[in-house]
Structure 1
Amino acid sequence: MPLQVDPTYDPLTQLVQFETSRVFEMLMSLQSVVDSFHHPEWTETVRRELGNQFVEELSELYRGFQDGSLISELGIDAPDTNDIPGFIDHVKAMDMSRFAFYMTGRLCPLELIPASISRASLEQLMKKTGNEESSYCSPVSLQWADEADRFRERLVSLWRSYYDKFYVGHVDDFLPCAQKSVVERRDQLAQQGGTALYTDVTGWKELPDAVPPEQPYRELRFIPVFRTNTRRMTYFGYGLVAVVYDCSRTEQYERSIEEDKNRALDIMRALADDTRLSVLKVIAQKPHSNGRKIAERVGLSPSVVSRHLKQLKDAGLIEEHSPDNRNISYRLLIDRINGLPDKVIRYLRD
């Protein structure tokens, strides 16, 4: 009899909430513009619609913040996570100490951040609070603080231009995928509990340590997004763990990635032999050659060539042809080789 988990005994189950967020979808799509490896077609569309200057300025602004992933922390406490213009106004109107609070990963207590900030003052504060090793505290990540007002103005100006001139026409593209994911994850929560759901999405078995320690987690929020360059981003602290995850990675998608990887490995193993490449070259240049003719051209015995032909066939690189049902000849399936880079790149982008 299969074991059924009772989610009511899982301490994380009661903490779980689901949320679709236009704000985070936009923030993650901007990261995908900067890091074009995962969604090159999106970057090219933005470049075509908004011009090279926009993409270059966005990249310049985002590069020091892990391609924008550190900047997206600003979305955590948005007043309305589905009101993008309201979110932009919210960031623009923040007092500078609160803005710095988010730009330094909420690692330092808000009350310790001075109203007038600089790179030196933030470096000193991060060191004082034991956060000097954080990626938020790198020399590049804190450069903005010496011209904080100008930096924020450039940031919100780019966001507003992106939204008004382009993204407003795509703002709900992600919703079908996100809503479908929420339904599936709710079913998973009901059947397996919060810990299993959290582990499946993040790869972690336990929540991070509470930050600050005296504020235990009250909510575990899952936010599905569609255009993102990472499997998931986890923001935590002040009673909340927010997991922003790629909702396009369904079980079917994961299986197809694994299948592509295995096919690519089979092809590369078959090609990683000088003799087999010679055999394949004969087939490519002399279509419909039989085993005996191939053996003559490569200077090997028919039995040795037969073993190599089997490996090439198993890898899907050649196919047999027997017009008279007696003699077998071979033909190269060039599309399998042409498709190899796509399979490898798809796996690397995953």
Structure 2
Amino acid sequence: MNFRLPLATALSLLPCLAFAQPVPEPRPDAAPPPDWRGTLSVSIENDKFGVGTDRFYSNGFQLSWRSASADLPRPLEWTNRQLEALMGPGELRWGMALSHSIFTPRDTRRTNPDPTDRPYVGMLMASISLSRASERSLTLVELQAGMVGPSALGEQVQNGFHRAIGVDRSYGWDRQIHDEPVVNLLAERKWRVPLGQFAGLEFEALPSVSVSLGNANTYGAVGGIVRFGQGLQADYGPARIRPALAGSNYFQPNADRTGREWGWYMFAGLEGRGVARDIALQGNSWRDSRHVDARPFVADAQAGIAVYWRQWRVAYTQVIRSEEFYGQRGGPQIFGSINLSMRF
């Protein structure tokens, strides 16, 4: 598996880390200063950003909102009280998101797709989340619900966009999996580990663990990123569309209490997922449908850059994903992720 770009980026940090000066560790229970702005975030992921293919994980779109660090809406107050022990200390936020993902086989010209290739799948999801961030950790609990199958409008979105840009359509959507409501419950925790400073740059690691349970995705994941730059306290990495090594869907420029308005960082990361259920590979839960045998372990390697200035953040992530099912041809998938966030 070719993880050369992300691994080379990570390894290039090692000489700097050897000369890095230690930094004081933040207090484990300290919260960032109050943040009176919410964050609207848009993420687009596409394999055209990789090597120009149109296969497997073909496209993803997510629109998310993270609140200011303020009181919760009443319906979420009870949930927050029940999760007090899990969430731990920190600044509380709630959020919502709407996402759409498209998966196709390798050959999209066939009206009757290869039954040994991954099926056509459209997935439309909405989510609501609670998160708490301290100077040392970020904890997230998220409930996702939506639909896979024709009602998720995968065919209309993909072929409609292809017509608009003058690209040949995908011909096998008549064989996509059937309609099925899907629900996932996700819990995730990230830790901030300062690694020191060198030449005016900050270095840190962000290890993470996550668990997802549901009829769409059931997995456990362990991973993390290493990054260097300036103003790293503003976030926990750029947003991504799950399942992924995702950062925070919000950012807070003055989280380090210095009055900082801008910052940047480069990063590289790895995540491994133990997969028990992936409806986009294994097909419908209660009806016969196109499906393939999912591999029990999937790895992502990623590298990228993020920049924020005042109320704006933009990030790009290049991802290499290992083979997800037995019989997958073409090797690991390469795709890119663009994220634009605005505070208001």
> TM-score if structure 1 supplies the norm length?
0.24
